[in-house]
């Protein structure tokens, strides 16, 4: 039997926010993988080490969590006045599919740096010292994102003293603006309501805010499902019944949001929508041992990603949280004390995060104009990733 040798593909392994992923330039991919389809998906699955029935991704670059099973493809811009196209693929850990239905807000912080380092940004727009503004077209959701990347001596500055809960070491601050983050094709609240009664078999009728801003997200009250909002990962992820219950909530919410036609389709759309639960501020001990006081935050939020409670907060879900908090009457807004607000500081398992958002009501419809947050990013390794030649 003849075995195909491995091939090597230029790639960069980067941390962005509280996520990690393998970054590619579209033109560096094998020709068969430069267009969407089965070959590209198979390649990325093999790069990450999926599907893995052991759920460890030992034979790939993935880290066996939703935060570390990610891929990014950057290409020349297809939109005017943009520097780069950013396509995100969330790779399933134990199943053979790549979910292209949403964005990764955390890795967006790394996209700006990668775009500069890879020549997508014109040299005359990169200052010797200062900030380089990178206009990113997010191809999955067809939205503009603006990354403000610090530059020192003509190069991307990665080190610094900006601390981000959920990331061990400090780094340089990257400010990210999500422009017009609501779904441009429909209402920001797909059901037309700020709060719905969501009927979930085996769970009951839950109050839910379903929003499409940053990423489609279903918010429920923590107390309605037996939680306090101070839970850490093991409290949820070690409980198979709880995970199954959240997946049921997510599936029925997805149907009500019009994202899928029936609940069976949810199994092939793991990345979106997200499901999260909210509670009023309360003291708790973060996963790093840091004391979070009730006075440190406006609201508590716990969110699940790819079927597990996230160790911190997805960047796109943070946009959804901030946007929902800015709309009086949503569950997030009410848990945060109600009223008008342009920013929110929320508590997550690893600590806290402050996100700004602007929302306005026009002709009875709410829309978001901008959400902004600070993240950090760093190149971890660069060179080539190798995969067997018969992988795709």
What's the pLDDT tens digit per position in 365-375?
A: 898 989 999 99
Statement: residue 1 has pLDDT above 80: no
In the beta sheet, which residues pair with residue 259?
none
Q: Give Cα 247 to chain centroid, integer Å.
A: 18
Give, to the nearest 10 degrees, the angle between helix 105-117 and helix 315-325: 120
pLDDT of 277: 98
Set out the domains of the chain in order of their start, with CATH numbers.
Answer: 4-180+375-386 (3.10.310.10), 194-348 (3.10.310.10)
pLDDT of 92: 96
Q: Report the pLDDT averaged over residues 19-35.
A: 98
Q: Are 29 and 43 in contact (CB under 8 A)?
A: yes
Q: State both tokens at 83.
A: 């520097």
Q: Are 364 and 15 in contact (CB under 8 A)?
A: no
**pTM, to two decimals:** 0.92
Q: Report the pLDDT averaged over residues 216-241.
A: 98
Statement: residue 187 has pLDDT above 90: no
SS3 label, residue 196: strand
> What is the chain's Cα-based Rg?
20
Q: Are 333 and 326 in contact (CB under 8 A)?
A: yes
Q: Report the pLDDT averaged over residues 211-239.
A: 97
Q: Return all residues near 193 (Cβ < 8 A) that are at least 6 apart.
A: none
pLDDT of 349: 98
Q: Report the pLDDT averaged over residues 268-295.
A: 96
Q: Report the pLDDT averaged over residues 9-23.
A: 98
In the beta sheet, which residues pair with residue 149?
132
Statement: residue 183 has pLDDT above 90: no
Confidence of residue 186 (pLDDT cuts 50, 70, 90): low
What CA–CA distance (Å, rounded) separates 279 from 223? 7
Statement: residue 170 has pLDDT above 80: yes
What CA–CA distance (Å, rounded) separates 15 from 17? 6
SS3 label, residue 211: strand
Statement: residue 362 has pLDDT above 90: no
Angle subtended at Cα 296 by Cα 173 and Cα 243, rounded to the nearest 5 degrees: 85
Q: Are 162 and 376 in contact (CB under 8 A)?
A: yes
Residues belonging to the active site? 104, 314
pLDDT of 276: 98
What CA–CA distance (Å, rounded) separates 138 from 85? 6
SS3 label, residue 41: helix
Q: Report the pLDDT averaged over residues 76-80.
A: 98
pLDDT of 365: 87
pLDDT of 318: 96
SS3 label, residue 326: coil
pLDDT of 185: 62
pLDDT of 236: 98
What CA–CA distance (Å, rounded) separates 349 from 88? 25
């Amino acid at each position: 039997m003849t075995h195909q040798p491995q091939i090597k593909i230029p790639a960069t392994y980067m941390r962005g926010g509280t996520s990690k992923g393998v970054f590619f330039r579209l033109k560096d991919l094998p020709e068969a993988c430069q267009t969407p389809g089965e070959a590209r998906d198979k390649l990325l699955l093999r790069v990450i080490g999926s599907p893995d029935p052991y759920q460890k991704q030992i034979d790939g670059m993935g880290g066996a969590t939703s935060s570390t099973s990610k891929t990014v493809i950057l290409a020349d811009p297809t939109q005017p006045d943009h520097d780069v196209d950013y396509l995100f693929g969330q790779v399933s850990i134990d199943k053979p599919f790549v979910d292209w239905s949403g964005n990764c807000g955390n890795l967006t912080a790394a996209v700006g740096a990668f775009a500069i380092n890879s020549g997508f940004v014109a040299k005359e727009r990169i200052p010797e010292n200062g900030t380089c503004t990178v206009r990113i077209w997010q191809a999955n959701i067809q939205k503009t994102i603006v990354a403000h990347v610090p530059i020192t001596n003509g190069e991307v500055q990665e080190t610094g003293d900006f601390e981000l809960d959920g990331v061990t070491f400090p780094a340089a601050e990257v400010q990210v603006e999500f422009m017009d983050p609501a779904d441009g094709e429909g209402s920001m609240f797909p059901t037309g309501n700020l709060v719905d009664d969501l009927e979930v078999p085996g769970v009951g009728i839950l109050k839910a805010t379903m929003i499409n801003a940053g990423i489609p997200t279903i918010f429920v009250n923590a107390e309605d499902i037996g939680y306090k909002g101070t839970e850490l990962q093991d409290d949820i992820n070690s409980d198979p019944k709880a995970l199954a219950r959240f997946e049921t909530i997510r599936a029925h919410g997805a149907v009500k949001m019009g994202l899928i036609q029936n609940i069976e389709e949810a199994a092939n759309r793991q990345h979106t929508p997200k499901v999260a639960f909210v509670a009023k501020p309360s003291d708790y001990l973060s996963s790093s041992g840091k004391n979070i006081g009730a006075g440190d935050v406006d609201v508590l939020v716990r969110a699940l990603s790819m079927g597990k409670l996230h160790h911190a907060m997805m960047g796109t879900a943070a946009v959804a949280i901030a946007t929902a908090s800015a709309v009086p009457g949503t569950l997030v807004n009410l848990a945060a004390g109600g009223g008008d607000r342009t920013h929110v500081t929320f508590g997550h398992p690893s600590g806290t995060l402050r996100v700004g958002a602007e929302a306005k009501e026009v002709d009875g419809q709410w829309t978001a104009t901008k959400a902004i947050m600070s993240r950090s990013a760093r190149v971890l390794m660069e060179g080539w990733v190798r995969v067997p030649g018969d992988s795709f």
